[in-house]
Every structure is written in C-alpha cells, then in structure tokens.
Structure 1
Amino acid sequence: MTTTEAGDIRNVAIIGHKGAGKTSLAEAMLYVAKATAKLGKVDDKSSVLDETAEEKEHVCSFEASVAHLSWAGKKVNLVDTPGEGSFLAETRLALAAVDAAILVVSGKDGVQPITERVFGWVRDAKLPCMIVVTKVDAENARPDEVLAEVRARLKAPLAVMEERVGEGLQHRGVVAIRTKKAWLDRPEAPATAAGSPVPADAAGAVEKARGKLVDDVAGSDDELTERYLTEGDLTQEELDQGLRAAVRQGALIPVYFASGVRPSGVAALLDGIVELVPPPTEHPAWSGVVPSGKPGAAPQAAERPSSAEAPAAAFVFKTSIDPHAGRTSFVRVLSGVLRPDATMLNASTGGSERLGKIHSVVGKDHKQVDEARAGDIVALHKLKATLSGHTLSDEKHAFLLSAPELPPALFSRGVRFDAKGGEDKVGNALYRLTEEDPGLSVHQDASTRELVVSGLGALHLEITVERIRRRVGVDCRLGPPHIAYKETISKKATNIEGKHKKQTGGHGQFGVCYIDMEPLPRGGGFVFEDAVVGGAVPRQFIPSVEKGIVKSMSKGVLAGYPMIDVKVRLFDGKYHDVDSSDAAFQMAGSKAFKAAAAQCAPVLLEPIVRLSVTVPSVAMGDIIGDINSRRGRIIGTDSVESQTIVNAFVPLAEVLEYESKLKSMTQGKGTFTMNVEHLEVCPPMVQDKVIKESGFKAEADED
C-alpha cells in the first residue's frame, strides 16, 4: 500500500458524551466511503470500532479506535474516542494527535457534562472543530433546541451548514447549504454519496439559510466584511476560502446534522471534513523539548515543524496489547518519515526502539505501508518499551513532544482474590494493563501490603477487573483499599526499663536497657540517640537495641500500623559477660519500646487530602455542606465564570466514594482532584472505630 502526501490527509478525533452516537457516526462514515463493506452497528455488536469483549458487552466505547477512509481523493484518519468519564485519558491523548475535532451532540439529550469538558480541551488546544448533532431521525429528537443549548452553554461561534428536511421520525434527509447538494428520502450509501440537486420545495429555505451562512463567514474577517457590505454577497470561492480560514482560526464552528444508524447527513459531513479541516501541512510547529541526555541537566525548549523534510518524530497516543498479536502502538507522525526496521530513540525514556512493519488500520484490518510521512496516523507493531504518551524521534535529533496533562487517577480500590497464586497472576496482568491504559495505575501499598489499583472512576476499575478475568482466568474483585494510617505518641516518658532474661540448659539470654521516649514534630521520622556512658551496654549491642525498637515500631501498639515521629534515647543498661547477645538486646529494646509507648499516650494518625472541587456556582452551597459533613475543613473558594472551585482538607477515609456522590449532587457536572497532603490525629471516636475494626492484638514478647 502506497503512502499519502500530507496535503491529502485529514486527521480528526470524534469526541463527545457517552451515548451521543460517536461510534455509530464513525461506522456510517466508513460505510458511506466504502472503507467497510457493510454498516457496522453498535447495538447488534457488529461495530468494527467497538471490538473488545467489554465494549460489546456494555455497548459503550472504552478505548480510542483508529480507522481511515478515502473521500474525494483525500485520506481521512478517524480516531473514535470514549465519552465515558472514566476513560477520558485516551480521549485527551487522541486530541493531541489530530488536526481537528468533531464534537458529537445527541439531538435528543443535548449538551451533557462530558460535552462541555472535552470541548474545553479542544478550545484550550486551539484545535479547529466541527459539531455534529446526531439522532435527528429519532423519536423525540429536538435538534433546534439542542442547537440553542450548544450556543448558550458552549458559547461557540456556530455556522449551520445544512438545512434539514423533516423532523424526528419524519426526517427525510439534509441539504448542504454551501454546496447545494441534497440527500433525501433514502438512507445514504456508497451509491448515493454524490448527492442530488436541491428539490424545488426546499430551494427557498436553502437560499435563506445560505444568506445566514454568508453573514457568519463575512463577519469572521474584516476584508470579507467590507466586500460583503460593498457587493451585498460573497462569491462561492470567497465563501469557501473564508469558511476554511475561519474554521482553521477557531472563529467559526460548522454545524452538521446526522444519523449514524440510518445513515443520513454523512456524505455532507465528509465533504466538510476534506474541504474545511486543515491538512497536517498547516499544523503549527510542534512544541516540545530536546532531552539533555545528561543527568541533572535541564532539557531545552524546542519546536519541530510538521514537515517530511524535518528529522523523524512520532507521538504514541494509543497502545493496544493483544494476547496473540502482541503490542500495537498507534502514532501520529509529527515530522520526517518513518520506515520499517528503522531504529529510533524513545525520547521519553532514553531507550532505543526498532520499528517493525508499519500499517494503516480499519478495525482489525491492517494493511502494510512502505513508509509513513509527516502528518499520517499509522500503527507500529511490537515496540518493546514504548507506551502511550511517549515520543519516538530520530536518534541524532532527539525531540520530546509536550504531551497533554492527563486526568489524575482518583478512584482507588484494593484487589481481592481467593485463588492460590492469584496475586502474582493478577498483579502481572494489572501491570500489563497499565501499559495500554494511560488512566490506570497500580501499586502495592507499602504499609498494608495490599495490591491497589487506581483509575478515573468506579466503572473504569470494574472494566479493568473484567479484563483481568478474561485474560488470566482468575476471579478477582474489588474492595475499599486499606487506609494507610500511622501511629505516634503524644507525650514523653522517661526511665523506662526493657529487660529480657531467660535461662535455658546452656547459655541463657540476658539484656537490660533503659530509655526515654518523646514525640517528634510531624515528619520527624525516627531518631535514636545513643547516650550510654561507662559501657553499661556494650558498643556491639547498642545497634541491637535500636533494631528491636524499629521492629516493634513497624507494627505499632494500637491497631498494627507503623509508628512514626518518635525519638528514643538509650542512656543505660545491664549486660552479662556470657548470656548477653544480639538477640537478647533486640528483645530488651522491643520490651522497652512497648512499655514506653503505653505511657506516652499513643494516638492514630490519618491521611488528610487536599481536595479541589470544580462545580457550577449554583451547587457551591451543597458541596460545602457535604464537605463539612465529611469532617472536612474549607480553606478557600475561587470563581471562574460560572464555575466555583472549592478547596478543602478532608480525611482520605471520608472521600473514598466521593466520585459517585459528587456526580449525583451536580448531575455529573462536577470534577475534582485530590492528593494526600499530611497526617493528622484521628478524633477519639474515629480512632476507637479503626482500632476495633483492625482486630489488632499486640504480639507478646518472649520471656
């Protein structure tokens, strides 16, 4: 398969809220353009884009899918993205790899929370955008009301590109205002892609709509405005050129109406993509850095032009790992030319990667290409250590793209399994999943030894468990992660004896130590002071006392959690020339610590997170009230347009289920971030509850 010149490529990401019809629209585009032999449908599980078992089971996109089609002599690369909030990391990366976005809004449901969120990303990235109102042929469709919602809530400069004929179940089709082509009274298919002349009964409405489009385009440019005021109209060439420029600059957002199921409005949308979306040759220079390659040296800011003549660089925006086919990396070629078997630098890690074969993809259909030039989107197979978000570049001309910041993994759960050996299997499978899912992370809690998986939401982790069960056949489940509590002391104790004496048939065991113990400021860790004089404790046994204390501290005295922020001063002791040993003084140190801790008023410390919640301003009162009920402390609020950001300190134990609560309080419009900030002493009632639930029983020291 031959390569395509950058000027003949269009790269678009299809974005929007879940259920808006993104995948159905993409399937219709592939079908009408003859990229697929039949119309793939999500509901009957025949979609070529939603191909994983989990996507088919839940009838929802959980991964970005890549496909291409040919239309009017141009290659259109489509990236169909998830619209479920738990999987937006893939959407974020996909937007960094394309030249424009198609925002899909349901003609029944209108603007929804994720609609606003992803559109905000598009505007922040200064990406050209088109909007498609879908499901216009569905019962209870309300496309005109939805269009008004888009104007009001997204504050977008819209330019309506089509005149609809018929409403809802009586929908007959669309007429393209700019090209004056009509697709009416039958579903669009490859045979009808060219369209028909405008029927006489729709001509008047189309001319009126064209007048409004000319107004919008003329208003986007001073020169066109002057021409329009002088001539009273724009020529077709002026209209087309002005619209292209306005779309490229973000001054206008074309609006189309479509049904992916019928399909309808698809051919006009494809015409709009190839004629209005800028090719990769017009993409601004890519911003990034040149890695220094030297430890401690700062990287230098750099730009890389989107040109085939520049050194090669490619951005990996999606990774897929198949148990049989292995790893597939989907890349946007930023610059230069990629060739099979070339060796490239992974600028993100500093390692080398040897490229295998290069493919152009439609679902599971992979066609090998001779090379991939700047601007194209292709699949690379069997890269060893390159993950989503990494940049590959020419070894002699290193370049690291400034990748977008991904949504943080805020929802964590402990992984439970009953099968023998399940921990290793599940752990390995989870770590492999993190290689292909940029929103997923996994770690073993150092305090609780529990395997903890973190993601962007409850559904994210549920789907992760389903994948584990399917891939490794181990039945695992999720439970709340154990909170990493700590223990400490709140007052000083002095002259505490730790004595270990044991007589056996041979040598006995004997060691005595005397310690003082006091609390340190938070973050002080553990301090051991050797204040022994006169050889009361032989020098070789002083580390033994410390070792015994440290071992006991690791298990605490209240609920089995590690004890921190403690100073111990060893100042005296006794020993026996024959019976004293390392083990004896370790036991003496342990006993001294436990005796001292009992007199130092031990307390439990709980992790406190800094919580930042962004919500519509009308919901601020409810949010603050809810945070207060969670033992939170409000530290400030900020207002940004119609949004309010509430900042607070809240115990981690109180926000494990915060995602679902926030969603219900704000109808899904609220977002939050949090990170563990510090530790604070638990209130007595909370401490008593944690101790009781821990079931902790202190180990008795040997006599």
Structure 2
Amino acid sequence: MGDKANTPGAAGRAVTADQPSSIRNVVLVGHSGSGKTTLVEALALTAGAINRAGRVEDGTSLSDYDEIEHRQQRSVQLSLVPLEWGGCKINLLDAPGYADFVGELRAGLRAADAALFVVSAAQEADAVAGATRMVWDECAAVGMPRAIVVTHLDTARTDFDQLTRICGEIFGGDDPDAVLPLYLPVLGAEAADGHAPATGLVGLLTRRIFDYSSGERVENPPDDGQAALIEEARNRLIEGIIAESEDESLMDRYLGGEEIDLKTLIDDLEKAVARGTFHPVLAAAPAAPGGKQGLGTVELLELITRGFPTPLERPAPTVTTPEGKARPAVTCDPDGPLVAEVVKTTSDPYVGRISLVRVFSGTLRPDETVHVSGHGLADRGHEDHDVDERIGALFTPFGKQQRQLNKCIAGDLACVAKLSRAETGDTLSSKDDPLLMEPWTMPDPLLPLAIRAHSKADEDKLSQGLARLAAEDPTMRLEQNQDTHQVVLWCLGEAHRDVALERLRNRYGVQVDAVPHKVALRETFGEKAAARGRHVKQSGGHGQYAICEIEVEPLPAGSGVEFVDKVVGGAVPRQFIPSVEKGVRAQASKGVAAGYPLVDIRVTLTDGKAHSVDSSDAAFQTAGALALREAAADSRINLLEPVAELQVLVPDEYVGPVMSDLSGRRGRVVGTEQAGPGQTLVRADVPEIEIGRYAVDLRSISHGTGRFDRSYARHEPMPPQIADKIREETEK
C-alpha cells in the first residue's frame, strides 16, 4: 500500500458497480467533532467527485446539507457518499458521532463491511476511550475490519506517535501490536503557536516519502536523516504483520535475519486487515486551498480498495420466512433471490419517502414490485409489515443531487423512492418468495418527552406527523399513555429530542408544545375506614333515592380493587348491588385525593336503604361513588409511586459516582456484579419520578461510557413530604 497512485473517478455521473467484487462499503465512526465529514469531503476531492471548493458541480455542499445539520453544526443523520477509485465503487457512510444518534450509527454498521474510526489529535484521549470504544467492541464481536485515521494534526494536543500508542492501548486490548501505523507524518516548519503542520507521509513499508506540500501527492526518496528515523517503526510494523500472517514460517525467517520481500508483506497486511485481526493507523488532512489532494487521502483510498473486504467476503444476516421458518443463508449473488434491507428512511418534501437500501442478494430494479416484511416494533409505534409495494425510481445520492440508477446489485447501496409502507429495518424481497432478515439491535430510548398540539389545526396533523417521525427513526418510541393521558416521545437524549421537535415543526408542519412528563401515580387507603353514601333528591315528580354503607380496608400491593357484598335482609335490593359496585369502581378509577387511580383496597357493602319508586341504577351508582369519597375524607390516603428496576453498566472507575448518584435519587442499590473486563453492572430500585433525566445525567457522570436498562418493578408509598407537594400542585 502506498506504492502507487490510482486514477480518480469522473464527477457528474452516478457511480455504479457491475459486480460485488468491485464494491467497498465503509462506515466512518468517531466522536462528534473528530472530522469525519471533513474527511469524506477530502476523499471526494481526491477521487475527483467534487471541485477544489468542496462543492458538487451544481455548487451545493457534499455533506451536511440538511437544514437541521446546518443550524446545529453537527451531523444528525447517516449520509451516503459514493466514490470511484481504482476501478472500485466506494460507498462512504458518514455516521453521526454524537451519542444521541447512535441509531444512525448502528444503521451504518449494518450497511457496511468495514469501519474507519476517525480520531482527532485535537481532542482529549477520553474522547477516544469513551463511546468510541463501545462501537469498536461491537465491530470486534462480528469480526468487522477496522482501521484508524488520525485527523487535526495541525491543531494537535497529542502528537501522532503518542496518539498511536493510546489507540493501541484502547483498541488493541491484549495485543497493542495489532494497532500500528502504516505511515508517519512528515512535519513542516514550526508555526508561531508551536505546532508543526504535517506536509507529507513516510511509507514505512516502501521507505518512500509522499509529499503533499504542493497540494498534490509527490513521491520522493527519504534523505539520510528520515531513513534513520523510520527503521524502528518499520521493524515493529513488519513484526506486527508477520504475527498475523497465515504463513507460520515467516516469523522464523524474519528473526533469522532474512529480508521479507515487500509484496509478501503487503499481501499479508491486506489479508490481516480484511480478516479484522490487524488495524492500521493512518493520518489524513484536507487539501490546502487550491490543492487537489489532501494529506493521506490517496493512501486511505488505497487501503479501502485493497485492504478492506468486498461484500462477497462478509456473511449476510440470517433470513427466515415472515412466519419465522428457517431459510438457507443468502449469498452476495446478483443472480440470487432478492434480499435487501431498509437501513434508513427519510422524507423529502418533493419526492416523498426515500429509503436507503442495502442489497444483500439479487438485483433491485426500478418500477418492480417487491414484498415488504417488517418485524414491527409495537412498543415503539411501529406496525408489522407484510405487503407488496411497487418501488419508484432508483438513485444514488450525492449531496442534494439524486443520480438515477438502472439497477442495484448485491453488495451495493441505493435509494428507493415511493415505498410508502417500508420503514427502517424492513426487508425487501421477491413478492413470490417473501423473506425477513434478522433485525439489528436498536438502543432503547429512555428520555421521555411529553407533548401536546399547539393548536386545533396542529392537533389534526399530529398523529400523521408522529407516524412519519416514527417510521424514519426506530430509536424513537411513541407512547399514548393510558394512565396519564399524555403523548410521550421517548428519545435517546436532549439532542435527539430537539431534532425530533424540529422535524415535526419544519418537515411535517406540526407545532407542538413540550409539557412536564407525568408518571403513573396511584392512591390507596392507609387504614380502615367506613362511610355512608346518601343520594336522596325528591323535589316533585320522579325522585332519586339510594343509601349505601361501606367499609374500606387496604390490601397488599397488586391486589387491585375488590368488592364484597355483605348486605343482609334485602336492605339493598339485589338488582342494585352491581350498581353500587359500578359506582365504587368508577370513583376508584378517578381517585379520591389527588386524582390518581385508587388501588389495593377491599370495599365491603354492609347496609343501605332503597325506595320502591325512586331508587334506580343511576342513584345507587352515585351513592356508591359518594360513599367511597366520604370514606376517603376521614382517612389517611397514601400516594403510591412507580419504582423502576435499573441495571446500570459502567466501567469500574465510575461505580462509586453512579452509586452515590442513585442514592441521591432515593434509590436502593440491591447488588453489583462484574459484567466483563473492567465493567460493573449495578442493580438498583429507583422511583420513576427521580429518573426522568437519567439518560442525560448518566452520560455526564460516566463520560459517555455508561448504559442502563429500566423496567417497571412495583408501586410503593411515596414519602409524605413529596406526596403533600404533589397534592398541593394538583389543587392549584
């Protein structure tokens, strides 16, 4: 790698592929601000896809053209940029780096066959070690090849050598020699601020200097001083490559003093990268004004085309029939059965719904009818899909442009228009042979946002806007809470919440107001009570007459509302006893103190009176409800709050702060256990009213490394001082 240049692809036309072996699908991963989008633009410039001003031929920007991204100054969605280099089509998937948009990142991992981890030398090492490490482990679990690109060398807080060592320690685990640089930066003259910008690269294997100071890559031999500096790094790189070689005799030959030829080293390097056992480190920077090639971009494109695997080398996800019957594994064959997956859904005001699709088998063509199968995510507002749909145009995006395609073969990605039912995660297959792909893991949204329509006009459009929002973003859960009567959007964080509100407002034309999120409180009697319900009205004509006497006693948690009839002697006629029960239960559902449902009580009807003419079903319902209210007026009523069972997974160094924070939320830690190397699982019971913002707060406490799950455990009595405060707010 790095021993020759390649011919860039032509701009202004759709980049296509005729066979899977000429496709490379690569997702860019990295912390927010690491320079992923800038790197994509630098690669596009080197490949000849954009001009020197960083623009597509129509003058628009290649990346971050979404209005929300412009306003927020960060990527919030997965974007596809196809390039051509050395006879290969490269699909670059630029994933957001902010933790709130991890759903977009997971979609990129699903669509890609390799990952570029972008690390900024201008950021603190904690930014490398945080959430990025979790994504690295996800890739390792499925054997996805990975390489590391260091950016921002011109404003570095950490020099390249030090950052390479940090990456080896963080990503290499037990084998730091599996993370080594292929090139070393050549530094220019030191600037006034003390930084020396990188002007070129030293190829460690080829011992050649690649000078980018003119804006184009120029190859030179090293001088004597440079040659001496690279030997130590070169020897370590060779040992790392040989350690991963399938030729077990290579290490003995090398240690015996034999010079291993360059072709053997490069071949073994490419194989180790493709297997995901060796992770090269490279440096990259955008081109200087007027330049045609950015630092390291040629080397990076060579690594992608020669070292990263083709779709033929990566197994496809498991498929079944929509009914769940097993099917043989699909292969990346353009002539095979059609199996594709929607990895992203967006809405365009002019085109309508657009689906970004990865084809795993077969060939997708415009205007054909396909079967849409979806798992549905009922708890997140998604329905199961099992329908036939006719797809519209097929195209590849390039900035704001849509470049038409006449087909999309196995291993490639394309956008499909007018799939009105398909949502992110759905499978497209032949209508004569429907199939369903195993879904990828979606993070659970744990930050609640209660909303209501701003006006009557917005109320009419709200349900449709929410449905479209849910279709685009499977990481968002839509809840119509039956207890609190609130519409709740469950999000991954505050940035995710803000983007959802802005999309509702600007993309779907729905103005909503955020309101305080309510938890489902309950009421119960704290002691036994008795009362009489008297409903007597006789003002001429047909009157109303019903009297009932009840006793109320508390029951264990989870008992609900029991009704017992102990009337003797026909004091309450038999036909009106169900009426009393109906009235009691209706009042219990409304509450008797603060307006929350009354639970865990036994109501016993002991006596009453009736009138031969004026008694009625309605009268005894009213009397039953009145009796329950009277009993509550002279008794202690407890408010019950829901308690959640939390499972918090954090690195060991954050266990103390996490447990202290949970205690401050009235939580009870019930246990801890090791959950892997350097990881601890903390189990705690915490009142739900105290964890409304825990998704945000845990991220702050653990520097982005903590995760948690929550599940309803039970309702428990609320402390009196907090209950009194809630009653006061209810009265107001």
1:651 equivalenced with 2:672 (yes/no): no
Which residue in the other structure is 2:286 paired with? 260
- Structure 1 residues 344, 181: CA separation in 2 closer, same or farther (over 3 Å shift)? farther
Structure 2 unaligned blocks of 5 or more: 1-13, 189-194, 289-293, 375-384
Which residue in the other structure is 1:102 paired with? 116
Deviations 1:6-36 (A, max 9, x none): 0000001001110000111111111211222
What is the CA-CA distance between 1:426 and the residue it aligns to? 4.3
Q: How does 1:230-309 map to 2 (within 5 A)?
A: 232-260=258-286, 262=288, 263-292=294-323, 299-300=325-326, 303-309=329-335
1:374 equivalenced with 2:410 (yes/no): yes
The SS at the match of 1:304 is: coil
1:225 equivalenced with 2:225 (yes/no): no
Query: Using the alignment, how far apart are the partners of 1:651 and 1:207 within structure 2?
Result: 61
Which residue in the other structure is 1:626 paired with? 661
1:214 equivalenced with 2:238 (yes/no): yes
The SS at the match of 2:306 is: helix
What is the CA-CA distance between 1:274 and the residue it aligns to? 0.2
Structure 1 unaligned blocks of 5 or more: 293-297, 697-703
Matched-pair contact (CA < 8 Å) for 1:409–1:439: yes
Q: How does 1:351-370 map to 2 (within 5 A)?
A: 351-370=387-406
Which residue in the other structure is 2:382 paired with? none
Equivalent residue letter for 2:351: A
Aligned residues: 684
What is the CA-CA distance between 1:331 and the residue it aligns to? 1.2
What is the CA-CA distance between 1:666 and the residue it aligns to? 2.9
1:162 equivalenced with 2:188 (yes/no): no
Equivalent residue letter for 1:73: G
1:509 equivalenced with 2:536 (yes/no): no
Query: Using the alignment, how far apart are the partners of 2:389 and 2:509 within structure 1?
Result: 32
1:394 equivalenced with 2:394 (yes/no): no
Matched-pair contact (CA < 8 Å) for 1:545–1:589: yes
Q: Which moved more, 1:627-636 or 1:171-180?
A: 171-180
Query: Using the alignment, how far apart are the partners of 1:36 and 1:551 within structure 2?
Result: 68
Query: Using the alignment, how far apart are the partners of 1:450 and 1:386 within structure 2?
Result: 28
Matched-pair contact (CA < 8 Å) for 1:499–1:512: yes
- In the alignment, which of 64, 67, 76 is matched to residue 78 of structure 2? 64
Which residue in the other structure is 1:462 paired with? 498
- In the alignment, which of 556, 565, 586 is matched to residue 591 of structure 2? 556
1:144 equivalenced with 2:161 (yes/no): yes
Query: Using the alignment, how far apart are the partners of 2:286 and 2:610 within structure 1?
Result: 86
- Structure 1 residues 548, 336: CA separation in 2 closer, same or farther (over 3 Å shift)? same
What is the CA-CA distance between 1:381 and the residue it aligns to? 0.9
Query: Using the alignment, how far apart are the partners of 1:310 and 1:233 within structure 2?
Result: 46
1:687 equivalenced with 2:723 (yes/no): yes
- In the alignment, which of 452, 455, 480 is matched to residue 444 of structure 1? 480
Deviations 1:297-317 (A, max 9, x none): x64475322322431111211
What is the CA-CA distance between 1:687 and the residue it aligns to? 1.2
Q: Which moved more, 1:362-371 or 1:530-539?
A: 530-539
Query: Using the alignment, how far apart are the partners of 1:586 and 1:34 within structure 2?
Result: 80
Query: Using the alignment, how far apart are the partners of 1:305 and 1:328 within structure 2?
Result: 26
The SS at the match of 1:522 is: coil
1:172 equivalenced with 2:199 (yes/no): yes
Question: Identical aligned pairs, as a percentage?
Answer: 37
The SS at the match of 1:284 is: coil
Q: Which moved more, 1:12-21 or 1:367-376?
A: 367-376
Query: Using the alignment, how far apart are the partners of 1:178 and 1:530 within structure 2?
Result: 91
Matched-pair contact (CA < 8 Å) for 2:207–2:227: no
What is the CA-CA distance between 1:38 and the residue it aligns to? 4.2
- Structure 1 residues 520, 383: CA separation in 2 closer, same or farther (over 3 Å shift)? farther
What is the CA-CA distance between 1:489 and the residue it aligns to? 2.2
Q: Which moved more, 1:84-93 or 1:542-551?
A: 542-551
Query: Using the alignment, how far apart are the partners of 1:610 and 1:381 within structure 2?
Result: 43
1:311 equivalenced with 2:337 (yes/no): yes
1:123 equivalenced with 2:140 (yes/no): yes
Q: Which moved more, 1:59-68 or 1:105-114?
A: 105-114
Q: Which moved more, 1:571-580 or 1:625-634?
A: 571-580
Query: Using the alignment, how far apart are the partners of 2:206 and 2:419 within structure 1?
Result: 45
- In the alignment, which of 26, 46, 56 is matched to residue 12 of structure 1? 26
Deviations 1:502-534 (A, max 9, x none): 123321111223333333332223333455566
Equivalent residue letter for 1:273: I
- In the alignment, which of 200, 213, 220 is matched to residue 186 of structure 1? 213
Deviations 1:343-387 (A, max 9, x none): 222232222232222112222222222221110011111111211
What is the CA-CA distance between 1:600 and the residue it aligns to? 5.5
Query: Using the alignment, how far apart are the partners of 2:576 and 2:233 within structure 1?
Result: 92
Which residue in the other structure is 1:701 paired with? none
- Structure 1 residues 604, 424: CA separation in 2 closer, same or farther (over 3 Å shift)? farther
Query: Using the alignment, how far apart are the partners of 1:536 and 1:92 within structure 2?
Result: 68
What is the CA-CA distance between 1:171 and the residue it aligns to? 1.5
Equivalent residue letter for 1:484: A
1:566 equivalenced with 2:601 (yes/no): yes
1:637 equivalenced with 2:664 (yes/no): no
Which residue in the other structure is 1:520 paired with? 555
Over aligned residue pairs, what C-alpha RMSD do you find? Answer: 2.6
The SS at the match of 1:256 is: strand
What is the CA-CA distance between 1:434 and the residue it aligns to? 1.8
Equivalent residue letter for 2:730: S
Query: Using the alignment, how far apart are the partners of 2:394 and 2:654 within structure 1?
Result: 50
Deviations 1:200-250 (A, max 9, x none): 464554565443322111111352434544672333332222112211222
- Structure 1 residues 492, 132: CA separation in 2 closer, same or farther (over 3 Å shift)? same
What is the CA-CA distance between 1:89 and the residue it aligns to? 0.9
What is the CA-CA distance between 1:60 and the residue it aligns to? 0.4
Equivalent residue letter for 2:41: E
Query: Using the alignment, how far apart are the partners of 1:30 and 1:645 within structure 2?
Result: 44
Deviations 1:615-668 (A, max 9, x none): 232222222122112111001112232222211111111122223433333333
Query: Using the alignment, how far apart are the partners of 2:550 and 2:327 within structure 1?
Result: 56
What is the CA-CA distance between 1:277 and the residue it aligns to? 0.4
Which residue in the other structure is 1:321 paired with? 347
- Structure 1 residues 491, 396: CA separation in 2 closer, same or farther (over 3 Å shift)? farther
- Structure 1 residues 222, 684: CA separation in 2 closer, same or farther (over 3 Å shift)? same
The SS at the match of 1:554 is: helix
- Structure 1 residues 345, 491: CA separation in 2 closer, same or farther (over 3 Å shift)? farther
Which residue in the other structure is 2:8 paired with? none
Q: TM-score scaled to structure 1, two decimals?
A: 0.91
What is the CA-CA distance between 1:550 and the residue it aligns to? 2.3
Which residue in the other structure is 2:576 paired with? 541
Query: Using the alignment, how far apart are the partners of 1:237 and 1:150 within structure 2?
Result: 27
Q: How does 1:390-429 map to 2 (within 5 A)?
A: 390-415=426-451, 418-429=454-465
The SS at the match of 1:484 is: coil
Matched-pair contact (CA < 8 Å) for 1:17–1:112: no
- Structure 1 residues 242, 185: CA separation in 2 closer, same or farther (over 3 Å shift)? closer
The SS at the match of 1:347 is: strand
Matched-pair contact (CA < 8 Å) for 1:291–1:300: no
Matched-pair contact (CA < 8 Å) for 1:133–1:257: yes
Matched-pair contact (CA < 8 Å) for 1:636–1:647: yes
1:134 equivalenced with 2:161 (yes/no): no
- Structure 1 residues 503, 442: CA separation in 2 closer, same or farther (over 3 Å shift)? same
The SS at the match of 2:154 is: coil
Query: Using the alignment, how far apart are the partners of 1:694 and 1:663 within structure 2?
Result: 33
Equivalent residue letter for 2:392: G
The SS at the match of 2:681 is: strand
Query: Using the alignment, how far apart are the partners of 1:222 and 1:289 within structure 2?
Result: 35
